[in-house]
Amino acid sequence: MQPIPVHYNKALGVVILCAGLFVGGTGLLVVKPLLIGLGLLQTVIGLGYVSRPVAMVFEDRVEMKNLLGMTMKTHDVPRRDLQVRDGKVYKKGNRTALFGGFLAHQPDIAALKQSLS
């Protein structure tokens, strides 16, 4: 079965991307290399938020990803032992969320919840 990707919040990514373009554009207008660099960095981060997944849910594990796409942490939790509450993903019987909330794209969380039932 295919892994289920859960992406970063698209709205947050667009806000970061627009802010980066604004800061970089302002830096170009006033010819400040520091502002241009900060705007470029912020734009790259915004692109990562728009395009990259925060987690990949496999049948036997959950892999947490960073903005570069590398796996940073692996939770050895089978998909059947996951549950979704209040837009966050938990291991059954655990109070600490694995991921979710404002940082995660809620339609992806809803698709994961649908696949769990």
Q: What is the pTM of this model?
A: 0.84
Flag whether pLDDT at 7 surpasses 90: yes
pLDDT of residue 69: 84
pLDDT tens string 60-100: 999 999 988 899 999 999 998 999 999 899 999 888 898 98
Strand partners, 74: 63
Contact 13, 53 (CB under 8 A): no
pLDDT tens string 14-42: 999 999 999 999 999 999 999 999 999 99
